[in-house]
Amino acid sequence: MAIFGNRSGGIRRPGRTMIVASLAISLVATLSACGSGEGSANEVTLLTHDSFQLPQEIVDQFQTETGMKLKIVHSGDAGALSATISLTPGSPKGDAVFGIDNTFAARPIEAKALLPYVSPAAANGAAEFNVEGSAGELTAVDRGDVCINIDDAWFDTRDIEAPTQFDQLTEPKYRDLTVLMDPSTSSPGMGFLLATLGRFRNHAPDYWRGMVSNGAKIVSGWEVAYNQEFSAGAGHGKRPIVVSYASSPAATPGTSALLDSCFAQVEYIGVLRGAANTEGAKKLVDFMLSSTVQAALPTSMYVYPVQKGTPLPASWRQRAPIPAWTVTMTPAYISAHREEWLNEWRAVVKG
């Protein structure tokens, strides 16, 4: 099994957790509103996941620098986004796509839904996260780690010892306290699945079975899990253990991440093959690697930038420490075994 533990030597990107939405855009639209072939040289349409947000002044800066308006179309979680792109090769609903990560990257590349483009700016860090064996169809923008998050404040108020290790979650005292995500529909859900495979190897299905037997709740995606079910989330749910990111505690006081439970995740941007505004899409790739955007990522999307020399908020060192070890796998390996693993997961979950 080509699963690797990675001893971290630099920054880690804690995921696309949209915990704080202040100073951010929310230009919600539907894919049907942006049909194939639509667009002009004065507009760039970006397809992205529901959690994408950037400060409005940065979106305005793209127009100032390029003369093109940035139109943003949200399209579900990373899995749904990847599926949409992969099913429309050559006839895209936009010009560029952001938010496909390394758990889904192989699918749109194999479908030839992306146009190779190597940004000159990628040499400053992004190129280190290139998809192995690809021709430059996807460019890394941010990185992070999918990890179990704990609402420590919840445990403190109930005088219950919070879990400190991954494998404790199957213990009876943590029954009905965990919320997970379906790996077939959720990118962090798949990240959790891969983390268990890297940690427990062939015994991973036994761990899943233990989690399900211990009352773990499984939902469709991160927004539902964190903002509705998690006790420290926006909706003040009832469960104090959730799959999220190593960076999430930076946005949610009183929480922490189990740093022995993490899968290394990278998010990419790509130019869509057949786009109405290919040149505009390339400029958007360049822009996403600019110092302006990279510096805004930690506070707007709670992710780590990939470009070298990008400053991080000082508070992250205390509240969002970098995992010393993460599970890593190549997109091709994930793609080759995805259905096998999902079938095993479904067999356990459905019992």
45 and 116 in a single domain? The answer is yes
pLDDT of residue 235: 95
Block residue for tokens 């940035």? 70
Tell me, what CATH number does 16's domain have? 3.40.190.10
149 and 137 in a single domain? The answer is no
Confidence grade of residue 39 (pLDDT, cut at 50, 70, 90): low
Read off the tokens for 318: 């205390």
pLDDT in tens, 72-108: 999 877 778 999 999 999 999 999 999 999 988 999 9
pLDDT of residue 314: 84
91 and 161 in a single domain? The answer is no
Confidence grade of residue 280 (pLDDT, cut at 50, 70, 90): very high
253 and 274 in a single domain? The answer is no
Confidence grade of residue 187 (pLDDT, cut at 50, 70, 90): confident
Confidence grade of residue 40 (pLDDT, cut at 50, 70, 90): low
pLDDT of residue 322: 73
196 and 326 in a single domain? The answer is yes
| Residue 278: exposure state from Cβ atoms within 10 A (0-12, 13-18, ≥19) | middle
| Residue 194: exposure state from Cβ atoms within 10 A (0-12, 13-18, ≥19) | buried
Give the angle subtended at the CA of 40 by the CAs of 38 and 44, to the nearest 5°: 90
pLDDT of residue 29: 34
**Residue 118 per-residue DSSP state:** -
Segments in 111-186 forming alpha helices (H): 152-157
66 and 161 in a single domain? The answer is no
15 and 60 in a single domain? The answer is yes
Model confidence pTM above 0.75 = yes
224 and 256 in a single domain? The answer is yes
Read off the tokens for 7: 């001893």
> In 3-state terms, what secondary structure has residue 150?
strand
1 assigned to some structural domain: no
Pairwise CA distance, residues 17 & 15, whole Å: 6
2 assigned to some structural domain: no
27 and 115 in a single domain? The answer is yes
109 and 170 in a single domain? The answer is no
59 assigned to some structural domain: yes
Pairwise CA distance, residues 38 & 17, whole Å: 31
176 and 3 in contact (C-beta within 8 Å)? no
Per the prediction, the chain carries an average pLDDT of 87
179 and 239 in contact (C-beta within 8 Å)? yes
pLDDT in tens, 144-185: 899 999 999 999 999 899 999 999 999 999 999 999 999 988
Give the angle subtended at the CA of 266 by the CAs of 261 and 269, to the nearest 5°: 160
pLDDT of residue 276: 97
The total domain count for the chain is: 2
Question: Buried b / exposed e across 108-117, counting CB within 10 Å, b at 16+?
Answer: bbebebbbeb
Residue 24 Rama label (left phi>0; alpha psi -120 to 50; beta): beta
pLDDT of residue 79: 79
Give the whole-number percent of the chain exceeding pLDDT 70: 89
Residue 63 has pLDDT above 80, yes or no: yes
340 assigned to some structural domain: yes
277 and 255 in a single domain? The answer is no
pLDDT of residue 80: 83
Residue 26 has pLDDT above 80, yes or no: no
Residue type, position 326, single letter: T
C-alpha dist (Å) from residue 227 to 28, 223, 235, 254: 18, 5, 5, 15
**Domain limits at 105?**
10-144+267-315
339 and 227 in a single domain? The answer is yes
C-alpha dist (Å) from residue 82 to 77, 88, 92, 267: 9, 10, 12, 12
pLDDT in tens, 99-121: 999 988 999 999 999 999 999 99
Residue 238 has pLDDT above 70, yes or no: yes
Strands 304-305 and 139-151: antiparallel
Residue 165 Rama label (left phi>0; alpha psi -120 to 50; beta): beta
pLDDT in tens, 295-343: 999 989 888 899 999 988 888 878 887 788 899 999 999 999 999 999 9
